[in-house]
Structure 1
Amino acid sequence: MKNNIFLNRTVLIATKHQKETVIAPILENEMGVHCFTSDFFDTDSLGTFSGEILRKDNALNTLRTKCELGFNNTNCDLVIASEGSFGAHPTLFFASANEELVMLKDFKNDIEIIAREISLDTNFNGKIVFSEDELLEFATLSHFPAHGIILKSTEINPLIIEKGIVSNKILLEKYRELHKTFSSVFVETDMRAQFNPTRMKVIEKATLALLKKIKNCCTRCETPGFDIINTISGLPCRSCGSPTRSTLSHIYQCKKCEFKEEKIFPRGLQFEEPTYCDYCNP
């Protein structure tokens, strides 16, 4: 980085789910920082995947609050955190997706840099089961025991929740205990990062995307995080020259001095193929 305002600074990774295992090596190797975690605050207080505490705000605001909690409880002025969401893909509605937001918040310099990664590579799932055979079938499809499983007495407002199950023996023991009282049991994938290697890989990708944004500095004041705020369509068709819906340029803006710059041909293409032209291929 040309202007590394983060060099030799300490970074708090605001997590209790071992996300530092993928985040810390990237930041330390590429930014020259020193990472640590803290038990002084509980990120689960903002919401849990298993449903004991519902997330009261959207993912972005929750992520921002997570960074602020870290700062307020440790006095570390450089904080990174991630927040995951699971559900239908924003465009492929039939498929489950994992969306990860990662934020670096520099309270000393009043800088906030955010990256987003959406992946179809997720085992996110849940099901009501009535037998051990159904349970084991679900476990196999969920990549168990490499990925953890959660058992609940009921899907909604469960009286009993068993989390972090990563062995067949414990899975069957907990299921049998629940099945003595309840006719069915709700089983779901444990989406906490330390119990879900697939999700951990998405967090890693999001962190790499964040690093790329951090390294992109303002061309005027050299503040890190010179980021895209708008996309302009209109890349001309190679055949007829008419503007297409494809991206012509990106508009970047500095988070500090608010300087804006347009960068054309971000895909390295000066023309779009006629296949994607509304005139050549209506």
Structure 2
Amino acid sequence: MFKGRKLLIATKHHKESVIAPIFNTELGVHCFTSDAFDTDILGTFSGEIARLDSALTTLRNKCILANKVTGCDLIIATEGSFGPHPSLFFAAANDELIMLKDFQNDIEIIAREISMDTNFDGKLISSELELKAFAEKVQFPTHGIILKSTEDNPIQIIKNNRSVDELIQNFEELSKAFKTVFAETDMRAVFNPTRMKFIQKAAENLLIKIKNCCPNCETPGFDIVAVKPGLKCENCSFPTRSTLSHLYQCKKCEFKCEKMFPRGIQFEDPTYCDFCNP
């Protein structure tokens, strides 16, 4: 279905460096990028343009925009979010979504990678000493820093700081012009190797989903649509909240099948039983 086709990676931040090698090799496509459109119009991490839609909607809109502008019918795009972990609220997380959209065959396949391994941070800076400490903490200069006049709705933003000396000079200029300076990590992929690493992992997750074809019609992307709890406790045999099965469904022919014991175990440890360990 994909071999020999052109695959457009919708990015302006060099994500193709980690995505293209995977799909060129594994799917036999010819990956390329285009500067005919600007994905930043859908939102920027630095705050000049707010992301108005959810990450998933924005991701889909990136693919649609790329298709409309270039005419390419096979698109990959990613969209990252940064903030509290969805289940561990005390920790910051990098949540990467990646989508393959095949307009020719009307297929949309989505994968995700969530990690707490992120340097995502921001701080109101009042001195050169504070700035140097922040820079060391977030791994500058291998990872970028953005300076802003204020955290929200800034009048001035300075990006692409390349060295400690340049960072300090720009900080001093902002300090003279404004009462405050806010420093934050640059989460654009090309300026954040840690994020780029998880974009690659998300791409690998996507490849696994693409290769999982429907047993009925062989359409790629046969994926989990529901998770069923109820794995029995090893001690009392009562159902627990742990996963008993995954329900898969084809997006093309709607064929369904249930796969039991996806974790490879048929009983749960009593530690996770509400009856044995209330």
Tell me whether the two structures share a fold, i.e. TM-score over 0.5: yes
If the length of structure 2 is used for normalisation, what is the TM-score?
0.98
Match of 1:195 in 2: 191
**2:32 aligned to which of 33, 36, 43:** 36
- 2:85 corresponds to 1:75: no
Cα shift at 1:21: 0.6
Deviation, structure 1 residue 238 = 1.8
Alignment of 1:218-233 (within 5 A): 218-233=214-229
**Cα deviation digits, residues 12-49 of structure 1 (max 9, x gap):** 00000000011111111111111000000000000000
What one-letter code is carried by the residue in structure 1 that aligns with 2:110? I
Match of 2:108 in 1: 112
Contact 1:232/1:249 (CA < 8 Å) preserved in 2?
yes
Specify the alignment match of 2:124 in structure 1: 128
Does 2:16 align with 1:46? no
Q: Which amino acid aligns with 2:260?
A: I
1:227 Cα deviation from its structure 2 partner: 0.3
Q: Which residue of 1 aligns with 2:246?
A: 250
Which of 98, 123, 147 is the aligned partner of 1:151? 147
Q: Which amino acid letter does the alignment assign opposite residue 174 of structure 2? A: L
Q: 1:267 & 1:104 partners in 2: Cα distance?
A: 27
- 1-side partners of 2:267 and 2:115: how far apart? 29
Contact map agreement 1:153 1:161 (CA 8 A) in 2: yes
Alignment-derived partner of residue 202 in structure 2: 206
Secondary structure in 2 aligned to 1:164? coil
Where does the alignment leave 5 or more consecutive residues of structure 2 unmatched? Answer: none
In structure 2, the partner of 1:178 is 174
Q: Deviations for 1:199-249, whole angstroms, at most 9, x for unmatched residues?
A: 111111111111111010001000000000001111112222221111111
Q: For residue 177 of structure 2, give the secondary structure of its aligned residue in structure 1.
A: coil
- How big is the alpha-carbon RMSD for the aligned residues of Structure 1 and Structure 2? 0.9
Answer whether contact 1:147 1:166 (CA < 8 A) is retained: no
Corresponding residue of 1:271: 267
Give the Cα separation in 1 of the matches to 2:116 and 2:60: 25
Say whether the 8 Å CA contact 1:130–1:183 is kept in structure 2. no
Percent identity among equivalent residues? 68
- The code of the aligned residue for 2:68 comes to N
Q: For this pair of structures, how many residues does the alignment match? A: 278
Alpha-carbon distance, 1:166 to partner: 2.6
1:88 corresponds in structure 2 to: 84
Within the candidate set 234, 237, 244, 2:233 is matched to 237
Q: 126-135 or 171-180, which moves further after superposition?
A: 171-180
Q: Distance in 1 between matches of 2:182 and 2:267?
A: 53
- Once residues 277 and 194 of structure 2 are traced to their aligned partners in structure 1, the CA distance between those partners, rounded to angstroms, is 40
Amino acid at match of 1:165: N
1:93 shift after superposition: 1.0
Aligned counterpart, 2:257: 261
Q: Which runs of 4+ in 1 moved over 6 A?
A: none
* Structure 1 gap ranges (5+): none
| Higher mean displacement: 168-177 or 99-108 | 168-177
Provide the C-alpha distance between the structure 2 equivalents of 1:124 and 1:214, rounded to a whole number of angstroms. 30
Deviation (angstroms), 1:184:
2.3
Deviations 1:84-135 (A, max 9, x none): 1111111111111111100000000000000111110111111111111111
Which residue of structure 1 aligns with residue 97 of structure 2? 101
Q: Which moved more, 1:265-274 or 1:44-53?
A: 265-274
Give the TM-score normalised by the residue count of structure 1: 0.96
Bigger mean CA deviation after superposition, 41-50 or 234-243? 234-243
